[in-house]
Structure 1
Amino acid sequence: MGDKAQTEDGFAKAVSVLQSSDHGQLLDVIDQLRALGIDRHVPLPQLVVCGDQSSGKSSVLEAVSGVRFPTKDKLCTRFATELILRRSISPSVDIKIRPSHDRPDDEKAKLLAFEAPSDDIHQFPRLVEAAKEVIGIDADAKRFSEDVLRVELSGPHQPHLTLVDFPGLFHSGNKQQSSDEAKLVKSLVQLYMQNERSIILAVVSAMNDYANQIVTDIARKFDPKASVRWALLLSLIH
């Protein structure tokens, strides 16, 4: 508990600098463009949070956002989630699904019509499960998706911050996940990393050998000197 409390305090201080009204207005415009799909053509700024499976990424995301991400199994994240935090007088939650551009028109319409079963952010794991069902995630067939869950969370104590969560990276297939799925997850993470305006937060577990963690190799590919676009966070918690 002590390590977790220290982590949360550290992140609270780190994001406190992101509170100016000008910064918030700029991010609002950026997110309006992202919602329209402009980021497919023009790179938009974002904080990309990624790591191998069981790296402690969910704990980091909770510390940053205050949102409790699902952790009931090792494959709790099945698609990219854009979490948009904004400071406002009144609290509000807006949840949508942005379909992959490869989806047929009828499937796109179904996903765009998605209505969350609740607007209570404390029920976030339940909201994610509802999105999984609509997207078509199946434990025996389709385990990952290129669709994006977009969650906009506003309130008087929120920082101005936009971050993206991903499924955890893994080396190869097994009984629970295939080699093709490993490639899909890797390509999804790389798609966001290659955006020159993405800041990459690579979460690595202190419980595993640093050299064996996929995320650091991928991050180096896009910023070999680790001097500008990515930061390494050592996680002591899961």
Structure 2
Amino acid sequence: MQGVFHKHLDDKVRPCIDLIDSLRSFGVEEDLALPAIAVIGDQSSGKRIVTRCPLQLRLRSLRVGEKWKARISYKDTDGIDIHDPSQVEQHIINAQNALAGDGVGICEELITLEISSPDVCDLTLIDLPGIARTKHLISQFIRRNETIILVVVPCNIDIATTEALKMAKEVDPVGKRTLGILTKPDLVDRGTEQTILAVVRNQVIPLRKGYLLVKCRGQRQIDERVSLADVTQMERDFFEQHEFFKYLLREEKATTQCLASKLTEELVDQIKVRLYEDFNKKQCNVTLVDAENQT
């Protein structure tokens, strides 16, 4: 264990994710299906930041002792360096205001935020605005076969009626690209814990990638600027001490750490599969063209 998240995949993960990010930066995505992780859910589901524009979040792991840094870019900006983690949210708000206007407007322009830290894993995902007014925008991202859909749902509502899961099932009927994330386990009504366990164990609405249970930072922890390392330990303590959810911890179906590791592995697997398929298609086309030229 180094930093907050597992590092055992670093050597295999970083080259794959850096390659995809580079291809996407050069606009190759128009000709080549690039894998991605898209996060969808209601604004109050636990996604934390009020998203009014698609936000591409690039997390890059540093060695312990290396300095935290971040950079945000959008539209015509050359990129703005961020030196203090507490300033990230305000920079996102400023970017959204610049693109979508002040208030509650929505814009389809992409904001890219890259964060490098010893306390994060190597991962790239796209956080999409809440579902209420942006179904068309969300559909543009999640209907692509190469996109892993991360559906965020609070524990204290009926998962079967959530709009996010309905949208995911429209484009991914058998759930082969969808991963369910249940949040707010501390708000579960006493007596309903077994229902949550059944959902996470894939016994209610089955998804091939299954479900995980996480406990995000509360507003008080955000206001008090509790460190990621401390929040991660507090989350683990919560699950270890919970009468019912401690079993999910042992099954590796709970905590943000488990989620980060699973997402990283899923993304790298998808990258390998998609690039291999596209490479073979292009090789096949080249062979056919050569054969036609020879004849």
Question: What is the TM-score with the length of structure 1 in the denominator?
Answer: 0.67
> For residues 235 and 147 of structure 1, what CA distance do their matches in structure 2 show?
28
Partner residue in 1 for 2:145: 196
> For residues 35 and 62 of structure 2, what CA distance do their matches in structure 1 show?
21
Partner residue in 1 for 2:53: 79
Could you give the per-residue CA deviations for residues 116-135 of structure 1, whole angstroms, max 9, x where no partner exists? 6x432321111112212321
2:15 to 25, 37, 55: 25
Q: Which residue identity does 1:199 align to in structure 2?
A: I
% identical equivalent positions: 28
Superposition map of 1:1-238 within 5 A? 16=6, 19-58=9-48, 70=49, 76-89=50-63, 90=66, 91-97=68-74, 99=75, 111-113=76-78, 115=80, 118-139=82-103, 143-170=105-132, 182=133, 185-226=134-175, 228-236=176-184
1:18/1:160 contact within 8 Å kept: no
CA-CA distance at 1:216 after TM superposition = 0.8
Q: How many residues align?
A: 180
3-state SS of paired residue (1:112): coil
CA-CA distance at 1:154 after TM superposition = 1.5
Could you give the per-residue CA deviations for residues 148-168 of structure 1, whole angstroms, max 9, x where no partner exists? 110111123321111111111
> For residues 8 and 128 of structure 2, what CA distance do their matches in structure 1 show?
23
Q: 1:154 to 1:113 in 2, by over 3 A?
A: closer
> For residues 232 and 45 of structure 1, what CA distance do their matches in structure 2 show?
18
RMSD of aligned residue pairs (Cα, Å): 2.3
> For residues 218 and 132 of structure 1, what CA distance do their matches in structure 2 show?
24
CA-CA distance at 1:230 after TM superposition = 0.6
Could you give the per-residue CA deviations for residues 152-211 of structure 1, whole angstroms, max 9, x where no partner exists? 1112332111111111112xxxxxxxxxxx2xx111111111222211110112233323
3-state SS of paired residue (2:22): helix
Gaps of 5+ in 2: 186-217, 219-295
The structure with the larger Rg is 2
CA-CA distance at 1:18 after TM superposition = 6.9
3-state SS of paired residue (2:112): strand
